[in-house]
Amino acid sequence: SDKKKVAMDDLQVSALAASATILIFSAIYWTVQIQSVREMLEMAY
């Protein structure tokens, strides 16, 4: 039914939105962390 299709769409759209948020924030966080470790290693060695 159309009603079920919309409900599925809602689940999938919310899953995509949440996934995109997680992937973007994780990429930023780990890039910053790796960069800070790289700077620490450069200062040490």
Partner 1 sequence: MSTASLGSYYRTIITVAVVLLATAFLFSSLRVDAWVGLKPFFEWMGTTWFGVIGTTWGAVFAVVQAFHLLAMALMGGAIIVSDGRLLGLGFSEMDEREVLDKSHTIFSRSLAVVLLTGIFMACGVAMKIYYLEVYWYKMLALSVGILFTYGIKKPLLAKSLDDISPLVRRAVALSSLVVWFSVAGAGRWIGFSG
Check residue 18 for interaction with partner 1 (CB under 8 A). yes
Check residue 23 for interaction with partner 1 (CB under 8 A). yes
Q: Report the amino acid identity of residue 7.
A: A
Least spacing, CB of residue 21 vs partner 1, in Å:
5
Structure tokens at 5: 């299709």
Torsion of the alpha carbons at 18, 20, 26 and 31, rounded to the nearest 10:
-170
Least spacing, CB of residue 26 vs partner 1, in Å:
5
Residues at the contact surface with partner 1, assessed by CB under 8 A: 6-23, 26, 29-30
